[in-house]
Chain A
Amino acid sequence: MSAPRIVVDLENGVAPWRQVRDQLVRLISGGVLPVGSRLPTIRQLAADLGLAAGTVARAYRELETEGVLTTGRRQGTVVAALPSHAPDPLSAAAAEFVAVARSLGASEGEALNAVRALYGAE
């Protein structure tokens, strides 16, 4: 199984820190990142996404405030709890599908067509 990934699109109109935060919430809610999972450091995630460290720090800080993440000196940042407003399972599955489709470079129309084709096949 491939490691969970985050996709940030600088041209989709949503602030990058918000994109990071929302995707982390979806991955945690969907069970992709279970409680206890270790997350990359702010510096690593910022470098890989080409963002300022403060941008990723803001996303982490928001989730720490909500009690979803906790940061310790030894263990780094880990998932501490499920988000309180966890989306229903269908929304979580859809969010995961959208993240994968985005990582593959598929447009919204292409992703919807793929889903419709599967529904039509059954």
Chain B
Amino acid sequence: MAAVVVFVCFGLLLLVLLWPTASNGKRLLKKWQVLDPTDAQVADAVRYLKRRRMLYPWLYPAIGYFTPLRDGHGDILVTVLVGTLLAELLALRPPRTARRVASLTPRGLSDIASKWVLRYYVVIVVVATVYVGSYLRWDLVGWLLLSAAVVGVIIWAAVTRPATGDQDVDMALRTRSVHVSAGLGAAVAGALVLSPWGFIGILAWIAMANTKPVPAKIDR
């Protein structure tokens, strides 16, 4: 019981520390190539961040108990990954207003994400799976494949979910979802396979989350 309280308190602390403000939203948009965002665009970005971060305090205690990643930073990684998954799945809900607007710009995975981020992530998962498989650690193989499936669903949802708000912001946030989820997947693989060298996965996450999208595809 005491452990649960500690987990919940830590989750709430995460929420306080990560609570998105307008300046967070503006910084996020500039990072993802919306260079001079309006107040409405910043509001879209803050809403996107809130939908994810509101989930962390509740997911963190639950995940801390059920994953094999209680040591170190693994439970935080899985919390953020599952939070991203739930937020993307919730965003799949169709629009409910009578008047609906859609852009006629085609939107495929190659239109919103860096192919290098995706290729590196696939390589990391394959190498990590072969490595732990060679030690017959089928439990870790299972967790790796589960994390890869979660990343796959997030990427699928980031491409297919209905467009909302400003088009430039919508495309930028889809790119962010794809890059950050691939990076989180790489960090989870690092935490599962490379302990105590899991920080290498964190470095891969940071690199992927800072890889710029292709300007010609996004800046339309």
A residues bordering B, Cβ < 8 Å? Answer: 2-11, 27, 33, 38-41, 43-45, 47-51, 76, 102-103, 105
Contacts and interface: CB of A to CB of B under 8 A. Distances in A.
B105 A40 contact: yes
Contact of B104 (A11, A27, A50, A103): A27
Q: Is the interface of A mostly helix, strand, loop or mixed?
A: mixed
A5 B101 CA distance: 7
Contacts of B162: 47-48, 50
Nearest to A78: B106
Contact of A48 (B96, B98, B100, B220): B100
Given A47-B160, A48-B103, A49-B102, 4 more contacts: A7-B101, A9-B98, A40-B106, A49-B100
Nearest to A41: B106
B163 interface: yes
B119 interface: no
Contact of A44 (B94, B95, B98, B106): B106
A76 B94 CA distance: 24
Interface centre among A45, A47, A51, by most chain B C-beta atoms within 10 angstroms, is: A47
A50 B94 contact: yes
Interface centre among B98, B102, B167, B220, by most chain A C-beta atoms within 10 angstroms, is: B102
A48 B162 CA distance: 4
A102 B100 CA distance: 10
Contact of A103 (B101, B107, B161): B101
A9 B104 contact: no
A39 B106 CA distance: 6
